[in-house]
Amino acid sequence: MRTGLGVTGALLGLALAGTAHLDREVDVAQGVSRAFEEVSERIAPSVVRIESARRLDVGVRPLGEGSGFVLDEAGLIVTNAHVVDGADAIRVQLLDGRALDADLVGKDTESDLAVLCVEADGLVAAPLRLDEPARVGEWVIAVGNPLGLGHSVSAGIVSGRGRTANITTYEDFIQTDAAINPGNSGGPLVDLQGRIVGVNTAVADIRMGGQGIGFAIPASMVSEVTAQLARWGEVRRGYVGVNLRELRESELGGLDYSGPSRVAVRSVVRGGPAEAAGLEPGDLVTRVNDRPVTTVQSLMAVIASYAPGTEVQLEVRRDRSEKAVAVKLGERPRPK
Amino acid residing at 242:
V
Strands 47-56 and 152-163: unpaired
Residue 137: partners with Cβ closer than 8 Å, 6 or more residues away: 157, 158
Comparison of pLDDT for 81 and 253, the residue scoring more: 81
Rounded to 5 degrees, what angle do the CA atoms 39, 205, 112 make?
60
63/328 Cα distance (integer angstroms): 42
Closest-CA residue to 329 (of 279, 291, 267, 284): 279
pLDDT digits over 58-101, tens only? Answer: 888 989 899 999 999 999 999 999 999 999 999 999 999 999 99
21 belongs to a structural domain = no
- pLDDT tens for residues 155-209? 999 999 999 888 899 999 999 999 998 899 999 999 999 999 999 999 876 665 5
Taking CA 68 as the corner, what is the angle to CA 67 and CA 69, rounded to the nearest 5 degrees?
A: 145
Distance CA 170, CA 296 (A): 10
Q: Give the pLDDT score at 10.
A: 66
> What is the domain count for the chain?
2
Residue 67 inside a domain? The answer is: no
Mean pLDDT, the chain, integer: 90
Q: Which is nearest to 187 in space by CA: 172, 171, 203?
A: 203
Q: Is the pLDDT score of 14 beyond 70?
A: no
* One domain, residues 208 and 252: no
Residue-level pLDDT at 166? 87
Q: Identify the pLDDT of residue 209.
A: 55
Do 220 and 243 lie in one domain? The reply is no
Collapsed DSSP state (helix, strand, coil) of residue 95: coil
Q: Is residue 143 part of a domain?
A: yes
Nearest to 300 by CA among 219, 231, 245: 245
End-to-end CA distance of the chain: 92
Same domain, 259 and 193: no
Specify the pLDDT at position 30: 84
120-132 mean pLDDT: 96
Quick check: helix, strand or coil at residue 97?
A: coil
Q: What is the CATH number of the domain that holds 213?
A: 2.40.10.10
| Catalytic residue IDs | 82, 112, 185
290-319 tens-digit pLDDT? 899 999 988 999 999 999 999 999 999 998
Domain range holding 146?
A: 139-228
Tell me the mean pLDDT in the region 275-296. 94
Domain boundary, last residue among 208, 228, 248:
228
Please check whether residues 205 and 264 belong to one and the same domain: no
Instruction: Look at 139-148, 249-258, 291-300 and tell me which has the smallest mean pLDDT.
Output: 249-258
Distance CA 336, CA 70 (A): 29
Angle (nearest 5°) at CA 296 between 249 and 329: 135
| Dist CA 218 CA 133 (whole Å) | 8
% the chain with pLDDT above 70:
90
CA distances, 181 to each of 185, 203, 230 (Å): 8, 7, 28
User: Does residue 1 surpass a pLDDT of 50?
Assistant: no
Would you say the C-alpha torsion 151, 155, 158, 162 has a positive or negative sign? negative
| Biggest CA-to-CA distance, the chain | 100
DSSP state for residue 314 in the 8-state scheme: E
Asked if residue 188 is part of any domain, the answer here is yes
Question: Do residue 244 and residue 298 come from a single domain?
Answer: yes
Distance CA 216, CA 275 (A): 36
Alpha carbon of 277 to those of 239, 241, 247, 300, 328: distances in Å? Answer: 13, 10, 23, 18, 8
181 found inside a domain: yes
H or E segment to which residue 225 belongs: helix 219-232
| Residue 102 covered by a domain | no
Q: How far is CA 12 from the centre of its chain?
A: 54
Residues 276 and 203 in one domain: no
pLDDT 10s digits, 21-51: 666 777 777 878 899 999 999 999 999 999 9
Query: What confidence score (pLDDT) does residue 182 get?
Result: 87
Average pLDDT over residues 230-242: 95
Mean pLDDT score, 265-277: 95
Task: Assess whether 202 and 221 both reside in one domain.
Answer: yes
Q: What single letter denotes the amino acid at residue 150?
A: G
From 207, 228, 249, give the residue that closes a domain. Answer: 228
Q: What is the CATH number of the domain that holds 265?
A: 2.30.42.10
Distance between CA 283 and CA 265 in Å, rounded?
A: 5
pTM of the predicted model, to two decimals? 0.86
Contact 159, 175 (CB under 8 A): yes
Q: Which helix (H) or strand (E) holds 162?
A: strand 152-163
Whether residue 123 lies inside any domain: the answer is no
Residue 87 within any structural domain of the chain: no
Total Cβ atoms within 10 A of residue 81: 23
Mean pLDDT along residues 108-129:
96
Last residue of a domain, one of 228, 263, 295: 228
pLDDT band, residue 147 (cuts 50/70/90): confident
